[in-house]
Amino acid sequence: MNLHEIGYIDHLPKLDIHGVDAKSAEMYINDFIEEQYNLKNEYIVIMHGIGQEVLLKTTRNILKKHDLVKDFKNLFQNRGCTVIHLKIREK
């Protein structure tokens, strides 16, 4: 499976950061990525909402710089969700 084939996300691990300030969101996102990487989950979802796009921009900035993130995209059917492809954890 590749990131661009994902359309159905109900089975993927999710982090909901609706209503969280940008600084807290950064902490939650980094912790979530680390945890999911350690659990060997390859695809995850962050639900940030649309609103003023503050959390969307915060999420994108974090993902662009994160060492464990291979790729990411906004869900086509819902711009308020970002699907992330994590690097595979080596044994």
- The residue extents of the domains of the chain are 14-86
Predicted confidence at residue 78, as pLDDT, reads 79
Find tokens 């659990």 and name the residue: 39
Predicted confidence at residue 52, as pLDDT, reads 86
Predicted confidence at residue 79, as pLDDT, reads 82
Count other Cβ atoms within 10 Å, centred on residue 73.
Answer: 13
| CA nearest to 18, candidates 60, 67, 54, 61 | 54
pLDDT tens figures, 16-70: 999 999 999 999 999 999 999 999 999 999 999 988 889 999 999 999 999 999 9
Domain 14-86 fold is Ribosomal Protein S8; Chain: A, domain 1 (3.30.1370)
pLDDT tens figures, 69-89: 999 998 777 788 999 999 987
